[in-house]
Chains A and B, each alone.
Chain A
Amino acid sequence: EAGVAQSPRYKIIEKRQSVAFWCNPISGHATLYWYQQILGQGPKLLIQFQNNGVVDDSQLPKDRFSAERLKGVDSTLKIQPAKLEDSAVYLCASSLVEGSQDTQYFGPGTRLTVL
């Protein structure tokens, strides 16, 4: 079974630039999550999708971050404009069923450095 795919793996940008990350969940997984993991900290949930609908985005900084999952499969996370404090690893995860009571499988992450 193929795992969660993410691209790019690394990205370096200057502050105020824009950046986008892509995630392809495990086939058949209805729920998709985006997390931000700052160095030395645990992952922090940014947004959760159930199919193509948003379940929770309470911790997403909506003034600069946006995410979509138009066809209920792939998802993109965008930051515009980026700030220095956005430097982190952005992890995508997926789970088979609705809700958090099912195993979440993580992708390899995208390491973002904002200069």
Chain B
Amino acid sequence: GENVEQHPSTLSVQEGDSAVIKCTYSDSASNYFPWYKQELGKRPQLIIDIRSNVGEKKDQRIAVTLNKTAKHFSLHITETQPEDSAVYFCAFNFGTGNQFYFGTGTSLTVIP
């Protein structure tokens, strides 16, 4: 399968601090990079995505940055809240089409 690295695997932050999660991919043809949030026992839910024609996208407290040259993309959560605690997965498509790979996940804990 395609190689994807996601770091860190666990992350604890104080409420109000920022959290950053990074993913590295290997296929230079990949052009779609979503991030999913999965709470315990629940389904993954899309929180933000970015396509290869832009370098950054922001939605309120969540942002994603993409560095196509270095083949990595990052999730940034600012002003973290306890309800942000969950496992976050990066994902990307292989080539420009149909195979879709997920990272290994980051367990984020926001301490009140």
Contact = CB atoms under 8 A, between A and B. Distances in A.
Interface of A: 33, 40-45, 48, 55-56, 58-59, 91, 98-101, 103-109
A101 B51 contact: yes
Contacts of A42: 6, 89, 91, 102-105
Contacts of A104: 34, 46, 100
Contacts of B93: 99-101
A24 to B, nearest CB: 14
A95 B105 CA distance: 22
Interface stretch (B14-22, B37-45, B67-75, B77-85): B37-45
B34 A103 contact: yes
A108 B42 contact: yes
The list of the 7 closest CB pairs from A to B, nearest first, reads: A42-B102, A100-B93, A106-B43, A100-B100, A101-B32, A43-B102, A42-B89
Contacts of B31: 101
B98 interface: yes
B99 A100 contact: yes
Contacts of B51: 101
Contact of B98 (A40, A91, A99, A106): A99
Contacts of A33: 100
Q: Could you say which of A99, A100, A101, A103 has the most chain B C-beta atoms within 10 Å of its C-beta?
A: A100
Contacts of B103: 42
A106 B44 contact: yes
A49 B42 CA distance: 23
